[in-house]
Amino acid sequence: MNRNKIIIGLSGGLDSSHTAALAVIAIGADKVKHNYLPDRHSKKLHRKHAILLENQLGTDLKIIRITQYLRILRIYSLLPMNLIQGQKLKSFAVNYVRSKHLGLTGGSVLSARLSGNGGSMVSQANAYINAKHRVRNLILFRESEKMNRMVVGAANRNE
């Protein structure tokens, strides 16, 4: 393969930030490229964190919006969160579903996500959440092939 440079998908969160910092320490900022892949529901704070990290590490950051891909795949129709206005109301709706439909009042939803029945709200949420993560990875691998780089990443805590 002869790839001595890497590409990392930044989410603006802790896991990808640590991966990015370790990569720069290991092989140098000149060999690390970061991609931030937001969709229409991505928090502005995560974009800010990705840009701050890029500046701190001295690496290049490319922003690739994935909303168009998710729209084509009809992912947004699985959980039409755009019908709920405002972040506070969206958070309330998510917490309501967690407590009333999943029986969860806090902690991890992993066990509930693993026990979803076909067509259930849990299955719909799984498809919605996982599709975003997988589209991001598909795009990262496309970018890595174009630049002859290896993809390096952190595991998604939800999968």
User: Could you tell me if residue 159 is inside a domain?
Assistant: no
- Model confidence at 3: pLDDT above 90: no
Residue 133: domain span:
6-151
Provide the number of structural domains found in the chain: 1
Contacts of 23 (CB under 8 A, 6+ apart): 6, 8, 32, 152
Q: Which tokens in the block code for residue 146? A: 């174009």
- pLDDT > 90: percent of the chain: 50
Contacts of 7 (CB under 8 A, 6+ apart): 32, 33, 34, 35, 140, 143, 144, 147, 149, 150, 151, 152
User: Could you tell me if residue 86 is inside a domain?
Assistant: yes
**Nearest alpha carbon to residue 151 among 34, 60, 14:** 34
pTM reported for the whole predicted model: 0.77
Which pLDDT tens digit goes with each residue over 85-105?
777 787 777 667 666 655 555
**Nearest alpha carbon to residue 18 among 140, 103, 26, 43:** 26
Which pLDDT tens digit goes with each residue over 11-52?
888 889 999 999 999 999 999 999 999 998 888 999 999 999
How much is the pLDDT for 8? 96
How much is the pLDDT for 84? 73
User: Could you tell me if residue 158 is inside a domain?
Assistant: no
